[in-house]
Amino acid sequence: MTKELTCICCPMGCPLKAEVDEKGNVLSVTGNTCIRGENYAKTELVAPVRIVTTTAKTKSGKPVPVKTKEAVPKSKIFDVVKEIKETSVDLPVKMGDVIVRNTADTGVDVVATRSAE
């Protein structure tokens, strides 16, 4: 079976076609301009992951931008965002500080993407 998807690894947004067997194994990928597209299609069709970016509250009420340090399973995004929204961060915060450790038991930390006083 052929599955169609769009590569989201860069702004070019290459249209990809992946041949998938009855067990869900990706047999081939076409339409990609570079290897990242092939890797994206293989991951997206088997175990999709995303980097989560949002803001966390600080104790002063000022939001600080945060993101997961690595991509997390797509199925865990809701839990990750919920955990970040329930967190109240002490100031000051430096870019790269860990805001939530091992978010939603993914093994991935959430870090600040900007410093805040």
Distance of CA 113 to the CA centre of its chain: 14
CB count in 10 Å sphere of residue 53: 11
Q: Which stretch binds ligand SF4 (CB under 6 A): 11-19, 46-54, 61-69, 87-95?
A: 11-19
Query: Per CB under 6 A, does 96 bind ligand SF4?
Result: no
Between CA 97 and CA 104, with CA 99 as vertex, the angle to 5 degrees is 135
Q: What is the footprint of ligand SF4 within residues 26-65 (CB under 6 A)?
A: 32-34, 36-37
CB 2 within 8 A of CB 17: yes
Residue 37 CB, nearest distance to ligand SF4 (Å)? Answer: 2
Six-digit token string for 53: 């970016």
- Could you say which of 13, 63, 96, 107 contacts ligand SF4 (CB under 6 A)? 13
Tell whether residue 12 is a contact of ligand SF4 (CB under 6 A).
Answer: yes
Distance (Å, rounded) from C-alpha 111 to C-alpha 28?
36
CB of 95 to ligand SF4, least distance (A): 26
The contact set with ligand SF4 (CB under 6 A) reads 7, 9-10, 12-14, 32-34, 36-37
